[in-house]
Amino acid sequence: MKRFSIFLSIFFFLITSFDSKALNLDKLAEIGYPRTFFYKDNYTRSKVKWFDLQEIVNDKPKYIALIEQNIKVDGEFVDYKFVYSSKHNFFKFIIKEVENKNYFLDKVSFLKEKVSIPEEINDQDILENEFIESVLDHCAYSQIKNVKNPDTKKKIVFKKFDKCKLKFLNTKNMNDLTLEKFAELDNKKNNEENTSKKDVNEKTKKISKDQKNSIEEDLDITKNPLNASFMWAKLPYPVISNIVMSTNKSGLIKINLYETKDECVGTIALNSNNEGSWSISCPDNSERFGVFKKKMVASGTVLIESDLLIGSGFDAYRNKVKFVSKIK
């Protein structure tokens, strides 16, 4: 009898656990998460990886985001939905070969199917605001090219992109948060924090002026713009650039193309491990060289190493972009 009771307890535990997972997936689908999705990118050199929502849930990410963007898809305007997982570095895609069911084709290297997938990362140290900003940045500045319908294999044509709106973070309603609104709220928060710090500093005399200046010199990178050495592959113009940090973890990238009088602006965000992401966008200019006339955008990853702020990534045409700035 005792063994039977233990068996029943284990049985009901397994059923409860299974139902809980199913309800989690159903809840996400119920509030609008699509069952299948892909990440925005230029899939010129490989096929797109279509993810299953169940696959993402099973991976147990710290955050999952639902983004909606009004796009003209195959000639009709629709509110298209994208899903982002904090387990994925969607600024860095890796091309992998996929096993072919045909034995002969699988043995021939140039016939192997290739698919682009985002780099897998540990998301335990990612903060909520950092994830939100990186998601909105990626959606706003990334292109969609060479995506095919997984059922019909027909190419899907995406045109005329409206603002990206964050609908949900996990199951929390984010009320259509846009990148502009997020920046506004973030600046307001930073101003409040700076005001609070100023009040505390005025009230305390525990740290001498010399000690305080020393601490600020070691930790604060917000006092002056940081000069940055910028390399943009295949861009035939010299680049004047600097980085303006509003906090020690977030700021703006500004570059100037002297010859064409263009000013480009982007964002940079770091997490508690001094790693993060960046993105930048330039206005269209028919006087610029070659493909750089339109959609001159780039994004990638950034980190602080010793006394250097180092960013690397790619533009919309897969040209390498890199910048380095001395922060001390």
Per the DSSP assignment, residues forming a β-bridge with 141 are none
**pLDDT at site 321:** 92
Residue ranges of alpha helices (H) inside the chain are 2-30, 53-58, 103-107, 128-141, 179-203, 209-219
Q: Provide the pLDDT confidence category of residue 111 given band limits of 50, 70 and 90.
A: low
- Region 240-249: mean pLDDT is 84
Contact 276, 130 (CB under 8 A): yes
The residue among 233, 230, 240 whose CA lies nearest residue 316 is: 233
What values do phi and psi take at 214, rounded to 5? -65, -45
Count the Cβ atoms, other than its own, within 10 Å of residue 262: 18
pLDDT tens for each residue of 253-273: 999 988 888 899 988 888 888
- The chain-wide mean pLDDT, for the chain, equals 80
Highest mean pLDDT among 62-66, 88-92, 109-113, 226-230: 62-66
- pLDDT at 165 > cutoff 90: yes
pLDDT tens for each residue of 60-104: 999 999 999 999 999 999 999 999 999 998 888 888 887 665 544
- Region 283-287: mean pLDDT is 89
Q: Which residue has the higher pLDDT, 170 or 225?
A: 170
**pLDDT at site 258:** 82
Q: Which residue has the higher pLDDT, 16 or 202?
A: 202
pLDDT tens for each residue of 185-200: 777 766 666 665 566 5
Phi-psi region of 235 (alpha: psi -120 to 50; beta: other; left: phi over 0): beta
Residue in the structure block whose two tokens are 């713009």:
225
Residue in the structure block whose two tokens are 């397994």:
14
pLDDT tens for each residue of 288-303: 888 888 889 999 999 9
- What is the token pair recorded at 276? 């993060």
Share of the chain above pLDDT 70, in %: 78
Count the Cβ atoms, other than its own, within 10 Å of residue 107: 10
Which domains, from first to last, does the chain contain? 30-180 (no CATH), 207-326 (2.40.128)
Largest Cα–Cα distance of the chain, in whole Å?
Answer: 87
